[in-house]
Amino acid sequence: MDKIHIRDIALRCIIGVDEEERREKQDVLVSVTLHADLAEPCRTDDFAHTVDYRAIKKRIVGLVEASSYRLIEALAEAVARACLEFGGVRRVDVTVEKPCALRFARTVAVEISREA
């Protein structure tokens, strides 16, 4: 399976379990790896034969910025489901990072993999 990576989409959303975390949007970083068969677009050089990763990025941005999850795990699951709705995507790996969530740590991240 071939891969398309979209790395470090910097977004803001309501995320967290504590009341203080839920008052204002916080920074998150979302990265996805889209698994697809890219043999045909490699051979044809035709956009109609490939995965529209620009549309996927736009869908992720809209979903995350409008979200209000308590757990980054739930946010990652929603992103994975959205990616799998696109034609050609057979599997997706999603990483959601919450920078500065823990004192003395640069970031906390959850990574999940889902298949169509």
Within a 13 Å sphere around the CA of 104, how many CA atoms are in the beta-carbon half? 0
Residue 24, strand partner residues: none
User: Quick one: tokens of 95?
Assistant: 């990483």
- Per-residue confidence band for 88, with pLDDT thresholds at 50, 70 and 90: very high
8-25 pLDDT tens trace: 999 999 999 999 999 999
As a whole-number percent, the residues of the chain with pLDDT over 70 amount to 100
- Encode pLDDT of 49-81 as tens digits: 999 999 999 999 999 999 999 999 999 999 999
Residue 35 confidence class, pLDDT cut points 50, 70, 90: very high
DSSP code per residue over 47-83: GGGS--HHHHHHHHHHHHHT-EES-HHHHHHHHHHHH
φ/ψ bin of 48: left (φ > 0), alpha (ψ from -120 to 50), beta (otherwise) = alpha
- What pLDDT was estimated at residue 83? 98
pTM score:
0.96
* Count: domains in the chain: 1
CATH number at residue 13: 3.30.1130.10
pLDDT at residue 34, rounded to an integer? 98
Q: What angle do CA 60, 66, 116 make, to 5 degrees?
A: 35
| Residues of the domain holding 63 | 2-115
